[in-house]
Structures are given as structure tokens and as C-alpha cells.
Structure 1
């Protein structure tokens, strides 16, 4: 299915950035406050959270159409969460390299077939985070099994795909990457056929330090308005 692009205004950005002030930095997240002026005349402080690592996820399906789910305690939410295999890619590794590593480390698996599934901005009102989601099939045990960090306590189950979709609608599965991946594949199976934009599809296999998105590139130029 070939879709024409949705309309974009001739002057889409209404903001002029007067200054940027870094507030917090860590190996995982950073925060800055921008002083911006709207073209209507209003001024405001805009807080932006940046993610140093690239969000990656894989909908890993076995031969019985079961999804590999990982369970863990999500500290910010104060609740337990079941999710697809996910992780943060380093700046010097592609999303594909990162998620292959995460599938081995979290589930002790490797896959024979991989393909890009979906792309999303996880919370675009306040962060620059991007997420690259893959579909993986032809699963087999990875040599060496799982390899958890010393701050991870993970469980792993295989849940029928249809049950995962139902759990999303029920609210039991709420992780944004998992919801997007499951519903994207469900849309495919329902007959929605649309390929990723070629330039976007290439980014699934590009290193962020060499091909940064506009939001991420901004962090290296904070001194410029």
C-alpha cells in the first residue's frame, strides 16, 4: 500500500530557541532546559529529556506462534511488567546489533530471520527517545544461555500471540514497545500492508553516533541557539 505523506505546514516549527542549559547528565539519560520564544510572542522554559541509548525491542515468535516475554519490576512505575525483549543500544552499535545482543542476554536465544517491524517516539512531549522494533523468527538456543546484569532480575515465558493482544486490550500489558510491536504485527495479519520508508528502514542498521536523529544531534550543539 502506497500512502501519500500527511500534510506538514510550510513553517512547521513555531519556536525560536534563545538558550539551552544542561541540568543533569548520566550514562543513560540527560536533561536540559531550553528558553524558547513562540512566534505568537509567548516565552517559556522547555525541559527536554535525552536518552543516550537507543530503545530497541524484538517481537520474537517461536514455531507455535508464541511471543517471548520478559518479566521485570519497573522501578518508575512501582509495578511488575511483562514485555517483549528490549534494551538500550550504545551509540556505537546499530539497533540491529543491540537487539540481537539483548535477545541472547535476556532470553538465551538467537533467531534465523530478522526484519524491521515498527518505529516510534515513546514520549515526544518531553523526550527525544526513539524505538526500533524488530520481528524475529526461527528461534534457537544461543550458546552460553542468558547473561543478566547484576541489577537485573528477569523471568521469561512464552505466551500465545492472540493472548498477548488480548492482554493489551485488558490493560495487563502496557509497555509501549510491546504494545506497538504486537499491534503492528496484528495489523499486518489483518491485511494492512505498508512498507517502512526506505530512509527510515536504513536507520535500523545504522549507528547513532554516525547518523544521529535531529533530536539527538542537538545535544552536541547546546551552545548554539
Structure 2
């Protein structure tokens, strides 16, 4: 069988207890969900729900094309402008998911010949972004700016450090100010995933980088 190896891998994963099973949840439940990332409860906020319904009635249920062709609407432009203003940045770009955003950011900002210094505790999306990047990835100890400095000191070309701001598994925060200092010292870029900081940390919820003075 052409794909017999898939069955063999599946069997090995099941025997090792590594198969995850999806558990669909109902629309309404009396259970208290402590695993959600919806920290602010916005997913069911009446204004958010009505806004989504109103947008679907006005714009339809799909983008009809890629962003570069026909898929960018006035809603995209408005949202990106408001996000940029809120966070204090020149511009913003909205993706279909945080996972897609991380893949795009790391691969775009780590060119051929670059060094990518990745925190050992990074989210899978950042890890996959490092794997897809054209540079060389070096994984360093968790939340260790000194290790980042040592890694950057060994490389003469373009370099970036990659880290979550708040690590979703343990809930600890990256030493952003120290990481930024390390990157400045060696002319390197700093890419951070603020999925668990934006809306919660910083002045008015403007995120962990803003809270760290970056």
C-alpha cells in the first residue's frame, strides 16, 4: 500500500498514547471553561456578536478571494487601522489566525543566511515558523536573555530572536526589556507573539511590549 507507513505511524502513536481526540462542545453549557483563551469574554459579548452578524449581512460570509486580489474589504482596512492606533504602531496586518501570523512573520523576517534564536518554551506556531524560515535556528533556554546574547554574539549576519510574551502553558512572562537590550546590542530584530498579552497587559490592555516600554 502506497501510504502504509501512515498506518504504521498511526498505530505507533496510539500505542504510545499520543493520539488526541476532539471533543466538540455544545453552543450552551453549564460547565465552567477554564481552558479558554477568551480571557475577556468577548466571544459572547452582545456587541461583538451583533457586529459579526451585521458584517455578515452586509459583506456576506466569505472574503471571495485572497487579500492581494479581491479579499481585502473596507472592514479589513478599518480594523487594521484601529489596531495600529490602539497599539501605537505605524501599521497592522490581520491574519486568519495567530498560527498563520506567526508562520508569516518568522519566515518573512528571517532571510537566507540569518540566525533565528528561539526560546525553548515557544508556542508550536513559532517553532514551525522557525522550521520554515530560510535561516539557521538555535534554540536557547527558556526566558534566558543571557543565552540570547551568547547566541547572537556568534553570528555576523542578519539575526532575530523569537519569543512568546506570555507563555500559554505555564503563564510566565518573557523578560522583554532584557531581550530587547540583547537584540539592540547585536543589531538583531525581536519577534514576539503577544497572543496572551494583548488586551490584558500594558496600559489599557495594549499588550506586553507596551507594558515593557518597547
Q: Same fold (TM over 0.5)?
A: no
| More strand as a share of residues | 1
TM-score normalised over the length of structure 2: 0.26
Whose relative contact order is higher, 1 or 2, with alpha carbons under 8 Å and at least 6 apart? Answer: 1
| More helix as a share of residues | 2
TM-score normalised over the length of structure 1: 0.25
